[in-house]
Amino acid sequence: KPLKGRFVHLTDLHPDPFYHTGGAESKACHFKKKRKRHRAENGSARKAGYWGLPVSECDSPLTLVNATFDWLGEHFRDEVDFVVWTGDNARHGEETDTKSRRLADIDTRLPRTLPEILDLNRYVADRIRQTFGKDVPVVASIGNNDIYPHNVLAPGPNKITNEYLDVWSHFIPEHFQHTFARGGYYSVEAVKGDLLLVSLNTLYFYDRNAIVDGSRNIDPGTEQLLWLEQQLTLARAQGMQVWLTGHVPATKDNWYPGCYEQYAELVLGWQDTIVGQLFGHMNVDFVSFISDADTPSLSSSSPPTSRNSLVPPAAEEDDEGAIRPLANDLAILNGLEKLYSSLPPEHKLHERDYVPVHVNPSVIPTYLPSIRVWEYNTT
């Protein structure tokens, strides 16, 4: 069928089947407070709304998730060429308890389970197919809250990768099923012979996944980077363009240094082939940059002293922190201003030395529930 020159990016829906309208914020919006009066620190009552509770520990009510897909179906059912879906399709995972310093669920009365996580992913996958049709290519990636326990994913094949191979069986091409079972990543041709979508398993790069080696030796992260280079080589040879997608953004403060530096070399060296990079996880809307200064082998000067020199400071936290940025809203804006002002002036800027990293806002109402509809040139 004719190309529309449009695609949708969905990320961080975080549906919560236990969300209860009128529930107390302190109860993760699951239950009402027993006391007659409950007021937040700012003096106003904080109760779960019908569409969610912004800037809180609460996840998304199903009313919000369903309304999102209903709106997309009404306006874009036959108007997009493919869908990018970058993970976190379950309730938030375990946090460190401030008293015991041990991991505990946000709501200990309703602990997360792997079957629940998988059921929520099936639910969202089914809604995507119902909304956009069964023939629209979908590139899906695993989020750090799509696994149990969250953040920790062992080398595959394992139960998680095998389960998602089943949940996403409609999206993963048959010739990549073995690759996905082993590493949790795959690619799909969105436009035959012209455009390739790559799903990265960023959990093998994520510095909170303590079970991997950080791409220092032959580990899942290193193997994935080798696979990615093969995908880029094949795409370039066939004259195809590539979108890279994943959950945790490619930033120094999110990824292991070894993974980040090797990835940075790839994206800087393949700018003729890579159209862009799309991530989620942070629940905020911003663009950061990878520069040649991030890769010792490409840099002509010493690398920045700060690990986060091209990332807004308030956007560095894991999404368990970003879900309730009570004091971070202005900090993010100030951080972005500082970020962009640190870039060289136009007459000194070499575009080949920088690549943008697009981080999409979330459906979960950390701020305003959001999706992004991209437009692109089909010629």
Written as six digits, the tokens of 84 are 């990018």
Distance CA 377, CA 354 (A): 22
* Residue-level pLDDT at 352: 72
Q: Does residue 189 lie in a domain region?
A: yes
Q: Does residue 84 lie in a domain region?
A: yes
Domain ranges, residue 313: 6-19+59-375
Q: Does residue 46 lie in a domain region?
A: no
Distance CA 225, CA 222 (A): 5
Q: Does residue 27 lie in a domain region?
A: no
CATH code of residue 155: 3.60.21
How many folded domains does the chain comprise?
Answer: 1
The H or E element spanning position 32 is none
Helix axes 159-167, 114-132, angle to 10 degrees: 30
Model confidence, pTM: 0.87
User: How does pLDDT run along the chain (379 residues), one tens digit per residue?
Assistant: 899 999 999 999 999 999 999 999 988 999 876 665 545 444 456 899 999 999 888 999 999 999 999 999 999 999 999 999 999 999 997 664 444 444 556 788 899 999 999 999 999 999 999 999 999 999 999 999 999 999 999 999 999 999 999 999 999 999 999 999 999 999 999 999 999 999 999 999 999 999 998 888 889 999 999 999 999 999 999 999 999 999 999 999 899 999 999 999 999 999 999 999 999 999 989 898 998 888 776 554 443 333 344 444 444 444 454 444 334 556 666 766 776 676 666 656 666 788 999 999 999 998 889 999 999 998 8
Order across the sheet with 354-359: list the strands. Answer: 186-191, 195-199, 241-245, 274-279, 354-359, 286-291
Q: Does residue 70 lie in a domain region?
A: yes
CA distances from 99 to 95, 102, 111, 314 (A): 12, 8, 18, 25
Residue 366 DSSP SS3: coil
Q: Does residue 147 lie in a domain region?
A: yes
What DSSP string runs through 74-124? HHHTTS-SEEEE-S--S----EE-TTT-SEE-SSTTS---HHHHHHHHHHH
Burial degree of 313 (CB within 10 A; 0-12, 13-18, 19+): middle
Residue 232 DSSP SS3: helix
CA distances from 90 to 5, 139, 143, 359 (A): 30, 18, 9, 19
Q: Does residue 34 lie in a domain region?
A: no
Q: Does residue 258 lie in a domain region?
A: yes
